[in-house]
Structure 1
């Protein structure tokens, strides 16, 4: 909930799902307007890993930020293996979330900054 409130307060339009299955249905209904998805790796019904794989099948180029409170190599692997664009460990600040979203939505700006 804090994530959606943070994003909305910075002008993003947000859709929220309670679990992976609901998230997939929501994405399928609104895929033309959704540019990025934040997926918690630990969700009921359908976990984040399965959700990311399903989202990749629907739209291979979708920008996906995987988040998890479990700080381990396994969490990073759970995000990278199914194809998350970026992994963000919890807890994270509003600033870190906004930076991550900007990074996946505007990778060309990140490349220019690194030059």
Structure 2
């Protein structure tokens, strides 16, 4: 377990069961506490219930029902300083067009390696610890 990840809680919001479970397994192995949501509605409810302990959200952009952009907006209403990494198979320009101007999040394009995900989480959480917006 890494000193940099111990105690951090990541909410994984992914509608693909296999990818959601793979992310959970790998993040757990890296030492993160992991919460899972299969869709946007579950994610919003989880942020309402567990928001104080969620340090970062890994959010799929394209999901049935409430999409990633709407989910992002709803979660940010509940916890305005929530750190978010949006994931998508779309290129970054297409993804950004789905969000209101001024939305603040990190972006990682699918497919991504689990080591890349871990590195990006470490960077985001380190910036949170130093007080930088992301």
More helix by share: 1
Distance in structure 1 (CA, Å) of the matches to 2:45 and 2:129: 32
Determine if contact 2:92/2:109 at 8 Å carries over to the other structure: no
1:35 match: 55
Q: Counterparts in 2 of 1:38-49, with a 5 A limit?
A: 38-49=58-69
Structure 2: gaps (5+ residues):
1-20
Question: Which residue of structure 2 aligns with residue 113 of structure 1?
Answer: none
Does residue 1:4 correspond to 2:24, yes or no?
yes
Q: Spell out, residue by residue over 1:26-68, the C-alpha distance to the aligned partner (whole angstroms, 9 max, x if none).
A: 1111111111001000112210000001111111111000000
Q: Does 1:50 align with 2:70?
A: yes
Partner of residue 11, structure 2: none
TM-score, reference length from structure 1: 0.85
Relative to structure 1, the CA distance from residue 45 to residue 94 in structure 2 (aligned partners, 3 Å threshold; closer, same or farther) is same
- Cα distance, 1:78 vs. partner? 3.0
2:61–2:67 contact (8 Å) kept in structure 1: yes
CA–CA distance in structure 1, aligned partners of residues 54 and 77 of structure 2: 15
Greater share of strand: 2
Indicate the residue corresponding to 1:73 in structure 2. Answer: 93
Distance 1:41 1:9 in 2: 25
TM-score (norm 2): 0.74
Corresponding residue number in structure 1 for 2:127: 107
Question: Aligned to 2:108, what secondary structure does the other structure show?
Answer: strand
Structure 1 stretches of 5 or more lacking a match?
111-115
